[in-house]
Structure 1
């Protein structure tokens, strides 16, 4: 009997934990303001790269601008989805969005390169590649090869 009660308690706690808070896909900081997000990102980077106060202030400005832009784009996308029926964007729209995102990322990387010194910049690039790898692995985007040479998700 004790084992049955323990099993029920364990199963229910696992199912409650797995359900989360209902904010799927929004990340842990979805309700923070751009200023709060910029502050947290700057502090994390300051700890990781030992930034000076001047560097931290410049980077915080970059992160704040980036967060404001991201929030406005997300809001515009939500409004577009609400007004239109749920349709998949065309190939050219997806290409345009990806191209704009990469342009913004390149510009951000160049700005960051002017703020950080050489060693800090290389350390940031390593950190960034690890973060991207973790995200890809989490979302199943890493590529593995099957025996027949074709790629599959997995």
Structure 2
């Protein structure tokens, strides 16, 4: 009886490995929207979320345009440095980069306070916090695919 059970287990195990694997077909690359189209969509989304008036929309369109050009420049710079060589940043370079990023965030917060009303600003902060948390959840895995321990500091 024991041998029959082992033989049945082996047969089931072998047939499961003998199944055909589904071949994943590559999708054609998606066409990217233009910078103006992306900016316009982002502005409309913010208008819906925060109920912006016409003057606020005008100011936000300039802010969004500036942000997107800076983002594209940073992405191009990162891509160029990635292609050239994989070098680790020194502590001083990392400090300068992070300091610059935090300065930009402070400036952005001040600009948003000037443009938005108190209620709109609070709602914007809430939305920004939710997006940040969702991004953190998606980035739980490291580059090598191993799960990382995510400690949420409150």
Counterparts of 1:110 and 1:144, CA distance in 2: 27
1: CA distance, partners of 2:132 / 2:27? 23
Instruction: Return closer, same or farther for 1:54/1:142 CA change in 2, 3 Å cut-off.
Output: farther
1-structure distance, mates of 2:80, 2:43: 30
| Structure-2 residue corresponding to 1:73 | 74
5+ unaligned residues in a row in structure 1: which ranges?
Answer: 1-7, 24-29, 146-154
Q: Determine the structure 2 residue equivalent to 1:48.
A: 49
In the alignment, what sits opposite 2:151? 143
> Is the 8 Å Cα contact of residues 49 and 124 (structure 1) preserved in structure 2?
yes
C-alpha contact (below 8 Å) 1:42/1:56 kept by paired residues: yes
Distance 1:49 1:63, change over 3 A: same
Change (3 A) 1:16 1:109: farther
User: How far did 1:125 drift?
Assistant: 0.5
* CA RMSD in angstroms, aligned pairs only: 3.0
The question of whether the paired residues in 2 share the 8 Å contact of 1:38 and 1:64 is answered with yes
For these two proteins, the number of residue pairs brought into alignment is 128
- Bigger Cα Rg: 2
- Unaligned residue ranges in structure 2 (runs of 5+): 1-18, 141-148
| Cα displacement string for residues 35-80 of structure 1 (whole angstroms, at most 9, x for unaligned residues) | 2222121111111111111111110110100110111122123223
TM-score of the aligned structures, taking structure 1 as reference length: 0.70
**Separation in 2 of the partners of 1:78 and 1:60?**
27
Q: How far off its partner does 1:90 sit? A: 1.3
Specify the SS of the correspondent of 1:143: coil
Provide closer, same or farther for how the CA distance between residues 102 and 34 of structure 1 changes in structure 2, counting only shifts above 3 A: farther
Instruction: Specify which structure has the bigger relative contact order, considering alpha-carbon pairs within 8 angstroms and separated by 6 or more residues.
Output: 2
Match of 1:95 in 2: 95
Give a deviation string over 1:7-33, Cα, whole Å, max 9, x none: x79x73xx748x77779xxxxxx9343
